Amino acid sequence: MRSRAQAWLIAYPLLAAAATVESAPPARTARGAWPWLWLGVPLALVGYPIGCALLGHKPYQAPPDSLALETVALAATVGPVEELTWGKRVEPRLGIPLTAALFAAKHVVIDGRWRRLAGLAVFWIGLGLVRRRSPMLALGVHMSANASGVILGHLTGRDSF
């Protein structure tokens, strides 16, 4: 692959196709989960930078791809596919904490930056709490967080992914 974003644009649709082959367990949406929603959204939006700061992760290189390509890859492709695979297939079976740990570990194994572990786990916990109330809202928060990370990375010259 010429670029990381192009690799995501090829691999993630294949992952989504594989995830749709298996039937998903019933979603665990909870009525009256508003308190979790109000905790989940902030955790999802600020959990990654706070967790990264706690472990000392500092982005040091410029984003490798164009703003447009990264936005399409991370916000419009990666976020929805992670919601489909991790949020709809894995999390209902394993619960929020274990899924958050595996989600964070998967990223660390792929990119080798272990200092992102806490941020990714807290991000997923926040999304999981939102997902209990509304899977569609969790998708929107995930896509927004990825898009804002891309934009911020391009504005500062420091790749968040």
Give the length of the chain: 161
Write out the two tokens for 90.
Answer: 């894995």
Predicted model pTM: 0.87
Chain centroid to CA 27: 18
Is the distance from CB of 87 to CB of 18 less than 8 angstroms? no
45's tokens:
């939006």
- If you search the block for the tokens 């809202």, which residue do you land on? 137
Tens digit of pLDDT at every position of the chain (161 positions): 688 899 989 998 888 888 888 776 766 656 555 666 778 899 899 888 888 888 888 877 899 999 999 999 999 999 999 999 999 999 999 999 999 999 999 999 988 888 999 999 999 999 999 999 899 999 999 999 999 999 999 999 998 88
Distances (CA, A) of 52 to 38, 86, 98, 160: 22, 21, 19, 10
DSSP string, 92-139: HHH-HHHHHHHHHHHHHHHH--GGGHHHHHHHHHHHHHHHHH-HHHHH
What are phi and psi for residue 108, nearest 5 degrees? -65, -40
**Residue 23: predicted pLDDT:** 72
pLDDT at 33: 55
Q: How does pLDDT run across 55-83, given as a tens digit for each residue?
A: 888 877 899 999 999 999 999 999 999 99
Domain ranges, ordered by start, for the chain: 43-55+63-161
Place of tokens 């504005």: 155
